[in-house]
Structure 1
Amino acid sequence: MTRRWILSTAVAVVAFLLASMAVSAALARPAHRAIGQPGPLVIVSMPSLSWSDISAEKTPTVWALAQQGAVGNIVTRAISAHSCSLHAWMTLSAGARATLGKGPGETGRGEQVQPCKGMPAPVQVGKGARFPNWKRWRTISLGRPIPADLGLLATRLRSQGSCVAAVGRGGAIGAADTNGFVARYSPTVAAASFTECPVNLVSLSSTDDAGLADLLSRLPADSTVVVTGHADDQTIESMRAVIVAGPRVPQGLLRSPATRQPGLLQNSDLTALALSRSETNPPALLEGRKPGVEPKSNANRSIEQVRDVSRALFVEHRVVAPFFVRFVLGAVLAGLIGLAMLASTRLRRWGRRWLVAVGAVCGAVPVSTFLVGVIPWWNTSRPGTYLSLSIMAIAVVIAAVAVLGPWRRWVAGPAAFLAALTATVIAIDVVHTSPLQFISIMGLQPVYGGRYYGTGNVGYALLASTSILVAALLAGRWMLRGRRDLAVATILVIGVATIIIDGYPAWGADAGGPLALLPAYAYLALNAAGLAVTWKRILVVGGITVVLVGGLGFLDYLRPPAYRTHLGDFMASLIENGQLTSLQRNVRANWTMLTSVWINAFVPVLLLLTIYALIARRSWIGRPLSRVTDRVLFLGHGLAAIAICWLLGFVSNDSGTAIPPSGMIIVAPLVIMIAASTGRPTPADVPEAEVAADHGDDAPRATPVRAG
């Protein structure tokens, strides 16, 4: 039997590695190249410029730059959901997201865009200018949970014997030093000189192609030009276009270590680009990283790629709410139909089949929202409709495989298949910088300040819940064979793999994830081994968790600053400055999410009811669940471990409010499938007749028949 366990584990590991290698081969990209700046750097803002605005006919000057240089999308969100030019320029100045007061919120469906604050005007002082209120703005900005040091860009460049010139009010915000002084300031392009300072910030009022042409005609021939639509302003939130062109700028897609996605920068990366021209090894910025270029020979293909990403991210976010409202209503209606069929003696058998099918489709939807990313749905005439229909079509196919596959003979087989498939797809995606999660409706939501790579909170909830469920179900099968040692080994193998994938800085880069996963798996392993969960063991597990997460963060901290993730940045902040800014941000973000929308207040209630149902097995809410857990050995402990993971994830992650309901979306249908299944409760080599009816939930019902 041990040989069988080793063989099955080896097959699973090899299959995962082969699939991962195939994805790596498909996503292989050329080495990145640096952006050279032989002459002055000129950063030009065209607020709300997106790739849908750019064409050879409408914007010939912008189009010509895109044909010559590197292209991408730029994430413009600062603190608020809607980005404004004022905040974008402050972000460029500080190298981290910054704001002045509370910015506009997200624009809902059918709503008008909330207005942005006006751009303050500097007071002209000789060739330069000054902002009288800068000291107060800077004090407020530094007092935020994640402090932004306004004036950092100009002050650092000045310390290197350099300066920053500004054209227009916005450019002056970006060019001001920590005292609010701008070294060179011109209200208009016509009055500006682009040879006095090596870095020049120009703010145009709109997508002015003719104005850009006039500007380019005034620049030295060796200038490096950045054109960016760095804010939403009066338009709905979206990715904005960014182009970098110059004599030493390779043609291709812009890349940043901060985003790890092809063709994607953030506003603060432009700060790092400006600093890189005068500092050989510049100190790490809080958020910005020096961008590079992924070489591409076909400019039109590069433009098409970044345009597709922008369109996909815009559409998928608008689809999220209506899709899940219809999905939940449809699932509830289908469930009620199934219960009505169960109430009928003649239709009871069909009612069970109906519930299994409905549970399978609903349980397959989460993984389908990721897999649909391999289909270019964004290029259709009605991308939102095509996206929704494609998700459901993929879910139906996966559900059919789950229900009709050879594993259907085991009562939990179809559910285990769906859980394993979901965990595997997310794990492989995370290992490859999350390209599917990036554009999924259950993914990272980068336009609104979510992650750009790694494990987002929704993806984490799905990965954690399904991996724990698979570990518990497989462990129960080994326990039925009388092999607690192999049950524990199964839990440890799956648990260690999940924790590494989720927490490793180059993959999941998730600090809060392992904090919740390790205790959940420890609880599962202790019960599988027949050991009591004591306070002493809880403290030991807690200590190991802190050491593990701290060790991952410290290893990330040892890497060069430009390549650190937020784990390494947190350790750097703690070790070098004694600050817990990331922790403060997590607490603040979680509280804001919990209180901003009334329905989110029910998340703790849902979590507490789930825990109560698992503990109070004979209560009115626990009795239906106990009937299900009694059918499958160790399922109850698996659900308890999932609840532990949800609880700890809820309190340890920013936006942790999303974790319990996201996990429930997949766990609930799988539990319903198990409840309605007519399969065997035991493996084929363990006769049901030799297993006692009342087995509890943590031990074999009787001495099982050993095989192998």
Structure 2
Amino acid sequence: MLRRLTPLLLTLLVVAFGITALAARPDTAAPRRTADFVVLAGVAGLRWDDVDARDTPTLWALARQGSIGSLSVRSAHRPTCPVDGWLTLGAGNFAASNGSRVAGGCPAAPVTVEQPDGIGANLPGQESVVQHNQARLPWGAVPGSLSESVRCSVAVGPGAAVAAARPFGRVDRYAPGLPADPAALLGSCVLSIVDLGAVTGEDPAARAAQARRADAELARVLAARPPNSLVLVAGVADTELPSRLHVAIADGPGWERGWLTSPSTGREGYLQLVDLAPTALAALGRPMPERLFLGRPAVAVGGRPADLPAAIAATADADREAGAQRRVAGWFFALLTGAQVLLAVAVLPLLRRARRHAGPVGPAPVPRRVVATVELLLIGAALAVPAALLADAVPWWRGDHAGWWFAGVTALLVVGATAVVRFAPGHGATLGPLGAVAGLATLVVAADVLTGARLQLNGVVGYSALEGGRYAGLGTVGLGVFIAGALLSAGWLAQRVRRELRPVVVVAVGGAAVLVVGSPYLGADSIGAIALTAGVSVAAAITTGGWLTVSRLAWAGMAGLAVTVGFAVVDLRRPAPERGSLGRFLAALGDGTGGLTVHRSSAANLETLVNSPLTLLALAGALLVWFALLQPWGGLMRLFGIYPTMRAAMAGTAVAAGMGGVLGGSALDVAGAAGALVVPMAALAALRVLDHSTDRTRPGEGRPAAGRPGAEHDAPPPAPECGAPVIPAGRTPTPAGGDAAPERAADASTEVARA
């Protein structure tokens, strides 16, 4: 009875780990009113490398006394052209215009503004824009939601009119440009939106001239700002491809000399365009239209360097890194996919010839040097993603040839890590390389997450601030590598203990991994924690033997469901601004807007499935496993029979990676990242198991022979003493070299018989 209840009890323990990780969230107090007036000044295309003390003295002084950050101008259209940016600003949600598009750029889109009474204005196309965003776009944005949340608003310039227009097109007060004395106009309403022009092109002289004009207009705004006012300056849009990070400055009471951040980014120094509307309402003490706003109010936090040039240089450097990341990430994953596919093709003939024949006649085995070379290549391929993550510790993006610098740094790290694995103790054991690679990958990702995930932000194998999907915590690729590394490490450790203790080891390691993934202070990925809970439950259930049956899969699903329900109960009790993604989704289901979330997730899965190179990597790994490694000649079935913890670890990885990708809207990306680590190591372990398939040794005999790793069974065994048992051909004893204790030889033989 105790043996039957063990998987249930361990599943409940994993569930407890998961809920503990997801329930604790940082305390975030509700924003308080800080201003009587808010002035939003926008400059399309303004970047931090356009700001300096000589050409833009007003922006420089404002940044010195206020709080600054890098602004991601994501909207419902890519790139975010000026009209899209102004619409998104006014909607507090990802919006876009319904005008014609030009591939690869932003067309000139004049805004029609009618002034029938000389006080306000009217945008005749606003209602069609609202209908376009409601009916054809998956975000449910309502342009004009910001102006609808205040009694009166002012717009200066055509871009500001787009942001300030109410859903039916009315602008309360409008001026085509700043009057001679703008004080009366800016003080007539609590909210003013000012279009300061645009900074376009890549010519430094032209950009500097445009930035000077915008700076001069801003000086007039600041001179006429109402008392006790908050001024927000933002580079509200891109003006061409590629997309960039833009300027964000907040100046007013309570915004002195800090970094800007918001709950939507969770990263100091980063803000989204959709956060500006909630920030304005929070500063004015006005209620939020929660169903319409996706952004969250910004706050100022400490930690900014006292030296303003250093702070601005850091934001400009982040923009350069994000731009370089987008260029380099595509070819890195394409090369990784190609290399792993070529290795899979190269491994096939080795698998066919790896099994040694017991008799004197048979085909010649593959030369040891060739096998050793392929093993090193498999180790290097499995370590490519962790090495690429570590490469972002070096500022490779600052050079003239950023891609080559990244390639050189990553190659050196791959070679160094492969050497560490090759010369690590226990490399000659069948599972030695697998355990070392899994441990290194887990440590690299965990160390980055525990130190703030700085390597993943704008990293080649991380996430980009330009995409606007994630700014902190564990990214998609990092989640896949961490899931695979943690579960393989758990399986490797469990194989070294008695059978009855193996589930405990898997739960201990897996539960710690769930905490790292799900904690809002660390990985901040509730979906990933739920998926990993299911994977750990599967691994714990079959770690002592057996296969992934329907009942065991049901237990894993129940564990993931229990974590989901437990977190949902806790999350729904929080105030709406403090809820996580799951709580917001359930609240949306309650008010009838949950279909938009499902639509967005489905669209994201389909887009990622079609466009991501990790999809091809996941499919190639699955084909190698199914049509080669799992065949009778492939060696993986034999590996699973001798080492049941590896079967458990790989089954748990497949469940967790599949669930994490589909539920998180990233399709097969998580599975592809996990497969980049698991498949090469599975092929290497299969090669070694097949190489020893005809060994005849007694339990405990055999030591690694000189000349090659894992050669402990090359020499013929000594003749047994009279009466000593002889293991017949076809049976594989407990592998020597530290894989299992000698006293567990009988268990190993039983596992081989089951295989």
Per the normalisation by structure 2, the TM-score is 0.78
> What is residue 617 of structure 1 aligned with on the other side?
631
- In the TM superposition, what is the alpha-carbon distance from 1:63 to its structure 2 partner? 2.7
Q: Does 1:519 align with 2:500?
A: no
Which aligned pairs between 1:453-492 and structure 2 lie closer than 5 A? 453-478=472-497, 483-492=498-507
8 A Cα contact 1:165 1:184, kept in partner: yes
Equivalent-residue separation in structure 2 for 1:102 and 1:525 (angstroms):
55
Q: Does 1:671 align with 2:682?
A: yes
Equivalent-residue separation in structure 2 for 1:489 and 1:550 (angstroms):
25
Output the amino acid matched with 1:562.
P
Equivalent-residue separation in structure 2 for 1:389 and 1:615 (angstroms):
33
- In the TM superposition, what is the alpha-carbon distance from 1:206 to its structure 2 partner? 1.4
8 A Cα contact 1:46 1:205, kept in partner: yes
Equivalent-residue separation in structure 2 for 1:578 and 1:228 (angstroms):
30
Equivalent-residue separation in structure 1 for 2:624 and 2:527 (angstroms):
21
User: Cα RMSD between the aligned structures?
Assistant: 3.5
- In the TM superposition, what is the alpha-carbon distance from 1:72 to its structure 2 partner? 1.3
Which aligned pairs between 1:47-66 and structure 2 lie closer than 5 A? 47-66=44-63
Q: What whole-Å deviation, never above 9, does each CA across 1:581-602 have from its counterpart, x for those lacking one?
A: 33331112111233457x7875
Output the amino acid matched with 1:354.
T
Provide closer, same or farther for how the CA distance between residues 199 and 458 of structure 1 changes in structure 2, counting only shifts above 3 A.
same
8 A Cα contact 2:495 2:740, kept in partner: no
> What is residue 430 of structure 2 aligned with on the other side?
411
Aligned residues between the structures = 652
Greater Cα shift, 95-104 or 546-555: 95-104
8 A Cα contact 1:167 1:201, kept in partner: yes
Q: Does 1:139 align with 2:194?
A: no
Equivalent-residue separation in structure 1 for 2:653 and 2:122 (angstroms):
56
Provide closer, same or farther for how the CA distance between residues 538 and 361 of structure 1 changes in structure 2, counting only shifts above 3 A.
closer
Provide closer, same or farther for how the CA distance between residues 395 and 384 of structure 1 changes in structure 2, counting only shifts above 3 A.
same
Output the amino acid matched with 2:261.
R
8 A Cα contact 2:534 2:559, kept in partner: no
Residue of structure 1 aligned with 2:741, choices 668, 686, 693: 686
8 A Cα contact 1:48 1:235, kept in partner: no
> What is residue 298 of structure 1 aligned with on the other side?
307
**SS of the residue aligned with 1:438?**
coil
Provide closer, same or farther for how the CA distance between residues 691 and 98 of structure 1 changes in structure 2, counting only shifts above 3 A.
same
Equivalent-residue separation in structure 1 for 2:741 and 2:624 (angstroms):
32
Q: Does 1:122 align with 2:113?
A: yes
> What is residue 154 of structure 2 aligned with on the other side?
165
Which aligned pairs between 1:152-551 and structure 2 lie closer than 5 A? 152-158=145-151, 163-190=152-179, 193-207=185-199, 208=210, 209-218=212-221, 219-220=223-224, 222=227, 223-246=229-252, 248-279=254-285, 282=288, 284=290, 286-295=293-302, 296=304, 297-329=306-338, 348-478=367-497, 483-530=498-545, 534-551=549-566
8 A Cα contact 1:339 1:351, kept in partner: no
- In the TM superposition, what is the alpha-carbon distance from 1:153 to its structure 2 partner? 0.8
Output the amino acid matched with 1:120.
V
Provide closer, same or farther for how the CA distance between residues 395 and 86 of structure 1 changes in structure 2, counting only shifts above 3 A.
same
Q: Does 1:582 align with 2:597?
A: yes
- In the TM superposition, what is the alpha-carbon distance from 1:275 to its structure 2 partner? 0.4
Provide closer, same or farther for how the CA distance between residues 211 and 486 of structure 1 changes in structure 2, counting only shifts above 3 A.
same
Output the amino acid matched with 1:174.
A
Provide closer, same or farther for how the CA distance between residues 605 and 436 of structure 1 changes in structure 2, counting only shifts above 3 A.
closer
Equivalent-residue separation in structure 2 for 1:185 and 1:416 (angstroms):
67
> What is residue 696 of structure 2 aligned with on the other side?
none
Output the amino acid matched with 2:741.
V
Equivalent-residue separation in structure 1 for 2:543 and 2:740 (angstroms):
20
**SS of the residue aligned with 2:232?**
strand
Output the amino acid matched with 1:291.
A
> What is residue 28 of structure 1 aligned with on the other side?
none
**SS of the residue aligned with 2:115?**
strand
Bigger Rg, which one: 2
8 A Cα contact 1:504 1:552, kept in partner: no
8 A Cα contact 1:364 1:396, kept in partner: no
Q: What whole-Å deviation, never above 9, does each CA across 1:277-322 have from its counterpart, x for those lacking one?
A: 2226645464211112223322222112211211111112211122
Provide closer, same or farther for how the CA distance between residues 117 and 388 of structure 1 changes in structure 2, counting only shifts above 3 A.
same
Greater Cα shift, 268-277 or 690-699: 690-699
- In the TM superposition, what is the alpha-carbon distance from 1:217 to its structure 2 partner? 2.2
- In the TM superposition, what is the alpha-carbon distance from 1:270 to its structure 2 partner? 0.7
8 A Cα contact 2:604 2:665, kept in partner: yes
- In the TM superposition, what is the alpha-carbon distance from 1:204 to its structure 2 partner? 3.0
Equivalent-residue separation in structure 1 for 2:349 and 2:109 (angstroms):
60
- In the TM superposition, what is the alpha-carbon distance from 1:499 to its structure 2 partner? 2.5
8 A Cα contact 2:83 2:109, kept in partner: yes
8 A Cα contact 1:255 1:262, kept in partner: yes
- In the TM superposition, what is the alpha-carbon distance from 1:406 to its structure 2 partner? 1.6
Equivalent-residue separation in structure 1 for 2:752 and 2:468 (angstroms):
43
Per the normalisation by structure 1, the TM-score is 0.83
Equivalent-residue separation in structure 2 for 1:165 and 1:84 (angstroms):
22
Provide closer, same or farther for how the CA distance between residues 602 and 359 of structure 1 changes in structure 2, counting only shifts above 3 A.
closer
Output the amino acid matched with 1:274.
A
- In the TM superposition, what is the alpha-carbon distance from 1:616 to its structure 2 partner? 5.5
Equivalent-residue separation in structure 1 for 2:429 and 2:742 (angstroms):
12
Q: Does 1:82 align with 2:79?
A: yes
Q: Which consecutive unaligned segments of at least 5 residues does structure 2 have?
A: 1-27, 200-209, 354-362, 689-708, 713-734
Provide closer, same or farther for how the CA distance between residues 117 and 210 of structure 1 changes in structure 2, counting only shifts above 3 A.
closer
Equivalent-residue separation in structure 1 for 2:531 and 2:624 (angstroms):
17
- In the TM superposition, what is the alpha-carbon distance from 1:248 to its structure 2 partner? 4.7
8 A Cα contact 1:121 1:131, kept in partner: yes
Output the amino acid matched with 2:145.
L
Greater Cα shift, 429-438 or 196-205: 429-438
Equivalent-residue separation in structure 2 for 1:407 and 1:321 (angstroms):
36
Provide closer, same or farther for how the CA distance between residues 411 and 628 of structure 1 changes in structure 2, counting only shifts above 3 A.
same
Output the amino acid matched with 2:295.
G
Provide closer, same or farther for how the CA distance between residues 508 and 656 of structure 1 changes in structure 2, counting only shifts above 3 A.
farther
8 A Cα contact 2:147 2:153, kept in partner: yes
Output the amino acid matched with 1:686.
A
Equivalent-residue separation in structure 1 for 2:346 and 2:549 (angstroms):
44
Q: Does 1:46 align with 2:43?
A: yes
Provide closer, same or farther for how the CA distance between residues 43 and 698 of structure 1 changes in structure 2, counting only shifts above 3 A.
farther
Q: Which consecutive unaligned segments of at least 5 residues does structure 1 have?
A: 1-30, 106-111, 702-708
**SS of the residue aligned with 2:284?**
coil
> What is residue 715 of structure 2 aligned with on the other side?
none
- In the TM superposition, what is the alpha-carbon distance from 1:604 to its structure 2 partner? 7.7
**SS of the residue aligned with 2:44?**
coil
- In the TM superposition, what is the alpha-carbon distance from 1:74 to its structure 2 partner? 0.6
Greater Cα shift, 625-634 or 309-318: 625-634
Residue of structure 2 aligned with 1:640, choices 637, 648, 651: 651
Provide closer, same or farther for how the CA distance between residues 660 and 539 of structure 1 changes in structure 2, counting only shifts above 3 A.
closer
8 A Cα contact 2:606 2:667, kept in partner: no
Q: Does 1:563 align with 2:578?
A: yes
Taking every aligned residue pair, what percent have the same amino acid on both sides?
26
8 A Cα contact 2:79 2:106, kept in partner: no
> What is residue 113 of structure 1 aligned with on the other side?
104
